[in-house]
Amino acid sequence: MTLQMKIAPAEVAAPTAPSRHWPLRLDGEAVIESRLQADGSLELTAQAGSATIGRAGLRTPEGDGPGILVIHRPDATHPGDIHVIAILVEAAFQLFPAMVALHLPDVAGKPALLPLTAQTVTDDATSTSAVRIAREHFYQLPLLWHRPEGLRAFPEIRSAIGPQDRLPPLRPPQPTGIFYRRWIPELGTTLSMRAIDRRRDLKLFHGWMNQPRVAFFWELAQSEAELDRYLAEQEADPHIFGVIGSLGDEPSGYFEFYWAKEDRLGPFYDAEDYDRGWHGLIGNSRHLGRARTGTWFRSVTHSLFLDEPRTRRVVGEPRASHQKMLSYCAQTAYDKVKEFDFPHKRAALVCCQRERFFREVVL
Q: Is residue 87 a contact partner of residue 54, using CB atoms and an 8 Å limit?
A: yes
Q: CA–CA separation, 363 vs 347, rounded Å?
A: 28
Catalytic hit among 43, 90, 262, 317: 317
At 204, give phi and psi (nearest 5°).
-60, -50
From first CA to last CA, the distance across the chain in angstroms is 27
- Give the contacts of 22 (CB within 8 A, at least 6 positions apart): 29, 31, 32, 144, 181, 182, 183, 190
Pairwise CA distance, residues 234 & 198, whole Å = 10
Helices (H), 273-353: 290-307, 323-331
Rounded distance between C-alpha atoms, residue 242 and residue 146, angstroms: 17
| Distance in angstroms (rounded) separating the CA atoms of residues 96 and 65 | 12
State the Cα–Cα distance between residues 292 and 118, nearest whole angstrom.
33
317 assigned to active site: yes
Distance, in Å, from the CA atom of 333 to the CA atom of 305, rounded to the nearest integer, reads 13
What angle do helix axes 323-331 and 290-307 make, rounded to 10 degrees? Answer: 60
Give the residue numbers marked as catalytic.
Answer: 317
